[in-house]
Amino acid sequence: MFCSRCGQVLAENDRFCPKCGQKIEESQGMGPASPVSNAGPRGQEPPSAPPVPPASQNGQPPLSYPYQPPAGAPVKKKNPWLVPVIVVVAVLVLALIIVGGILGYTIYRTIKDDQTSAPVTSQAATLLNERELSGFLGQTVEDLKNGTGVPLFFNDDAYTNLDGSVTATLDDDGYIDMLIISDRDVGFTICGVSVGMNQTTASAAARAAVPDLEEYGDMLIGQDGENHFAAYFDESGKVYYVIYFISGEESSGTNASIGTGIWYLGESLQTVWDYFGDGYQLLPAPDATDFFYMDEGFSFVTQDTAYTGQSVVSSVWMYQNAWFSDEIYIGMDYYDISLFVDLSEVYQNPFTGAYQADFSMLLDGWECYGYFTFEGPGELSRSTEAYIVRG
């Protein structure tokens, strides 16, 4: 019997060909291999026989062809997610590098541009270190905020900080026309004068900044062109209030030295006439002469019945929203006036029935006193007129 595959002579009990490992079929012929030629086309060598697996060893059956690993042997498989994960991580790392580079370059250029840019021309930037507010007059509230670092809020027709120690008002064009620092230690100065300064120091500082300065006992009054300055002293002789403003028809400030009734006490009638003109009503009395300027809301009184231009103004009446001084005007309520003038309590005059509050003050070395008249007894009651006389 022969192998049908390789022609090897087989024994009767062979189940596999000892040469090629071919399984012996029962129907396989017993005779010699068929004489059919294995030759290829003319002139070509017959195909070589397939490789023969090694013979069986240690009694184990020979390996079949093609070779298969034994059953149960572990087969190593590749992870299908490995390559995609590596690709994604690589893309993310590359993106981070690119974004980080762009961001770093942007920050670098911003810092570089800030360092090489032209200096700020706004006066607010230089005033921040000096804490001097007078330079902000005529500027905007934003300039004041940025220059001082003080937050300002709009309240009752003015801008003020949280404790009310800094106040600014605006003209119709939105520019600051009045600056105030009040009786709180805020660390700011106006024309070199700060709250808490004694009178000697304040006067020296103000004179260096304000060319036309006058002293009136418990206050300093000065003028620099259209800008006006005033500082007020308490009983201990220290500054508790400073104001700086622009005088003009559209300004919320007023002229501190002229045009307000209080400053004419002790002045000559000629001074009054020079400023207000001759449009007055003459109201003679047995022991005085009253010059009533209806449009201005003032009456200037001299005790001379036979007056001249050199007759001295002894008392002043103010009404119809006239200015009592640079920051007090008729129509202001009791509470607001009491911030500037030491008023007594509101009381009802037993003779006239009017509600009044008395005050006294030192003006140009003279003791002056008077009263305000109010529309009612309350703290928010508005004033209707004021009277002041030089003692």
pLDDT number for residue 109 = 64
What count of other Cβ atoms lies within 10 Å of the Cβ of residue 12? 7
Burial class (CB in 10 A: 0-12, 13-18, 19+), 328: buried
Evaluated on CA atoms 244, 246, 252, 253, the torsion sign reads: positive
For residue 248, the 8-state DSSP code is: S
What count of other Cβ atoms lies within 10 Å of the Cβ of residue 53? 15
Q: Are 312 and 302 in contact (CB under 8 A)?
A: yes
Selection from 124, 167, 171, 120 nearest residue 143 by Cα? 124
Query: In this structure, which amino acid lies at residue 291?
Result: F
- Residue that the structure tokens 């360092």 belong to: 115
Selection from 178, 264, 182 nearest residue 231 by Cα? 182
Burial class (CB in 10 A: 0-12, 13-18, 19+), 290: middle
Selection from 373, 381, 333 nearest residue 353 by Cα? 373
66 prior amide bond cis, ω within 30: yes
Q: Strand pairing partners for 115? A: none
pLDDT number for residue 25 = 67
Q: Which residues contact 279 (CB under 8 A, 6 or more apart)?
A: 293, 295
pLDDT number for residue 269 = 94
- Rounded distance, CA 11 to CA 27, Å? 15
Proportion of the chain in helix, strand, coil states, percent, rounded to 5 = 20, 30, 50
* Distance (Å) of CA 250 to CA 91, 247, 295: 67, 8, 18
pLDDT along the chain (391 residues), means of 10: 76 77 62 45 49 48 48 55 73 76 66 46 39 91 87 80 82 89 79 91 92 81 86 86 73 43 87 89 92 91 94 93 81 86 90 93 82 92 93 76
pTM for the model? 0.42
Selection from 123, 228, 139, 134 nearest residue 175 by Cα? 139
What end-to-end distance do the CA atoms of the chain give, in Å? 159
Selection from 45, 68, 55, 50 nearest residue 5 by Cα? 50
Please report, to the nearest 10 degrees, the dihedral formed by the alpha carbons of residues 323, 326, 332, 333 taken in order: -130
Rg (CA), the chain: 54
